[in-house]
Structure 1
Amino acid sequence: MSDSSGKLMWKLDLLEVKFHNASPRYRNTKKLLKARHNEKLLKKLPSSSEADAQILQLKHEIFGKKYHACVKKLHRETKKLLKPNSGSSDVLEPEILDKLVVSRIIKAITNAMLPTKQLKENPPHYIPEEIRSIIIDKSNTSNPSGFFNTYCKNDNNRNKIISNLFNKKSIKTFVSEMEWTFRVVRGNITKQEKLLHKKISKAENDVSDVSDESDESDESDVDDNRIAYSSDSDSDADEPALHSRASDNDSEQQPDPEADSESGPESDSETERKYNLPQLATGYFSGGSDEEASDIDNDQVVKSVTEQRKNRRGQRARQKIWAKKYGKEAKHIKEERTRLASERERKQLEYEERERKRQMKRQAEPTGSNNQPLGDRSEKTGVVEEKLHPSWQAKKMAEKTITAKFSGKKIKFE
């Protein structure tokens, strides 16, 4: 297959969640399967009868890549830590060192993928036959038990060197991540495994932050599962094993498993990130051609479903940010103060106008006796002329005689 390990793991997760009802490795797998308008995606998925064969094939291919990458990187890391002049390199000859590395990886596979006795006696068939035979045959010198009985049981010096080697912080961190890698390949990760891995990762990060403030502390903050998605890359052959867990581009492009959705120094709270998902417009599989991007997150359809929408903040949210940043000098706070002052002034003027009209009304009202009620109106009677005094009567008679008009008869003579 030309697909990258991350894309293979995504396809495997889709198939196992869809047909085996397994717990998803990625937090967006179920969202993608349950999204509306995903008919194209469902058409590209195989039938139930073909799904088991595809799941087995994908697991076989992914496991092979992870196994060989872990062998290569653990061998490089152990060889780097062995001091040339201390005699440890003479005790651990190249052949013994190769078997030591394989036995330690077999132990990690057993811890991560074979928790029961039945699985240890009959490992899953997606594990290559060569590795299955090493797991089953405890007398094999690459098996942890066979290696100890052959090389360490009667050699205390070699046993001490190996113990000191695997107690190194870098080796312990790598082994822990290696076990998590195989758990991710296995799938169906339980909540207890997630919590335990989160605690171990947090403890390792804390120790790294205290002991080293240089670039190593920055590298220890990378997602704990990153080796599961970048460990099969051969381009980092000259880099240290622990520093090749993830590059900056990988951390931006590779989808994080659901098991590690809460990892990292700034996401230790119990709250989970939520996504506002748009509707799924088209299917997921892009055809698998070699010219297409190898990373699954480059698929525009998956981005449209799984990425959080970058909506503009609302007015209230923006105002809260401005208030925290500028305090009383924020523009909206100044405008609010101006508006309140103007409203108070307007209300004061309205109150004063009402009081002035009330005062004028009170002044216009009658006061004192004018405020008393009037009596009933009486009827008018005829005017009775009063008799004049006799002296006045005599005077009026005298005036009339003086001013009397001539009343004689005119006589005309011819």
Structure 2
Amino acid sequence: MDHFLYRDGALHAEDVPLAAIAAEVGTPFYCYSAATLLRHYRLFDEALNGMEHLVCFAMKSNSNQAIIRLLADAGAGMDVVSGGEYARARAAGVPGNRIVFSGVGKTAAEMRTALEGGIRQFNVESEPELERLSAVAAAMGSRAPITLRINPDVDAKTHAKIATGKSENKFGIPIARAREVYAMAARLPGIDVIGIDVHIGSQLTELAPFEVAYRKVADLTRALREDGHDIRRLDLGGGLGIPYTRSNEAPPLPRDYGDLIRRTVGDLGCEVEIEPGRLISGNAGVLVSEVIYLKSGEGRDFLILDAAMNDLVRPSMYDAYHDIVPLREPAPGAPQQPFDVVGPVCETGDTFARGRELTALAAGDLVAFRSAGAYGAVMASEYNSRPLVPEVLVQGDRWAVIRPRPTLDEMIARDTVPDWLDGAGAD
């Protein structure tokens, strides 16, 4: 469920017409619904009622300061994958004891920053990382709380580029070597082993892969306890998918996911962490764009928008589907026709949809890409020297720009020309 609905023929974000925002901010822009973000976070929190737990929002899906603050104020922790995301979480007021640091390539500088600023745990992904973290922590007179990310070799049945739990993926330590690496961790002076971490992929639309992975985690927990390790926390990752289409097929609900967690690891007496990102922020956001031109080609019609692949890269990168809907509600039974929906970037890959059935649209009309709140603005770029699009947060009948669109002058001013190029090419 989201809070982007038609009212009186106009698509609204909660109580605000999206066209009214477009009139003031310009297009394209991202718009997020606070009510949807909070609802989705609370569904996960309630799904784990009765268990000691923390729901950590995966910031890689959307790292805007306002979004982080909104969720943190509701009680969420944060899952970060870089020093930059850690800094964003702390700047938004998230205490260190609610921040989990994931990722395969943590640097010594990032480790020091997190240890100095406070950290709930590091999810360690390799033996070299483990050794470096121990050295950094010991030099600071500290011990780093860690889980080891275990690769359970489970097929998540998702897109190859977002699968993370198979043996050929770069993430984690093979489960067959887990006991050996935990023994190594226990010997290191700067390491405090507290638990196990697993994350098998993103946009999972069925629970079976989770169940296979979590049962392997349960067996490993028992084995590690037999080896003398105090395993008291299980980080079960994220990955539950969202419905990108309005079809009757929908991914499992958070409550079903919570029941699965109870069934597989609930008897272990461990604190549970989960790291949802997409399911919290995905359907909480839309990308609003204006039609620039309608162009007829050989056997196809093109709808050319002012949004492009640099603003929303998922269709180009993952062949991802997003519903595209007009801001003016079509009449019931309005005829549709197929369009290739494209942007203005000079790449054939700048294509959002091919042969998409849409109601008649004209230059100047506004459309919205649904389910664009995750992996939208965070993956945007300034390719073709196109400014990053603004982001807007709506709460009830209030809205605010939470990241402004930079001007071209501001973009150009970030570059510097070295003195020795002055007069280059002059006679």
Pairwise TM-score range, normalised by the shorter structure: under 0.3
Higher strand proportion (structure 1 or 2): 2
Structure label with greater radius of gyration? 1
Q: TM-score, normalised by structure 2?
A: 0.22
Higher helix proportion (structure 1 or 2): 1
Q: TM-score, normalised by structure 1?
A: 0.22
